Amino acid sequence: MFEVYHLHFRGAVVDLLAFRDEDFNAEILRTAQPVRELGDVRFIVPELLLVTHLLRPGTHAALAAVELIVSRRALGPFDVATAERWARKLGREPALRRALDLADRLGE
């Protein structure tokens, strides 16, 4: 589903992820948001970051997905429809449903 490249950039190690789905890669780059406090470095939007967690196998990935959902909901609006659209396209909709359900139960 993805490849990881470890790069050394301006004194920092950066992991560059490349996903097999070209449309998903393009969407990540198109929607990346600059963070002024970090010199306008662009970061993936939370909804797509969530989908990247769903592409990874295992418990740690599932926990990361749930933690992201809970954290983002605490900060304000979270565009679940965007995450659903990409999870469906990449065949990870059941994993997204499980993560959302668990986050709902933890928030009760």
Range of the domain at 73: 2-106
> pTM score, two decimals?
0.81
Q: Give the DSSP letter string of 13-71.
A: EEEEEEES-HHHHHHHHHH-EEEGGGTTEEE--HHHHHHHHHHS-SHHHHHHHHHHHHH
Query: Which pLDDT score is estimated for 20?
Result: 76
Least confident of 1-5, 94-98, 101-105: 1-5
In this predicted model, what pLDDT tens digit does every residue of 38-80 receive, in sequence order? 888 788 899 999 999 998 888 888 999 999 999 998 888 889 9
- As for how many domains the chain has, the answer is 1
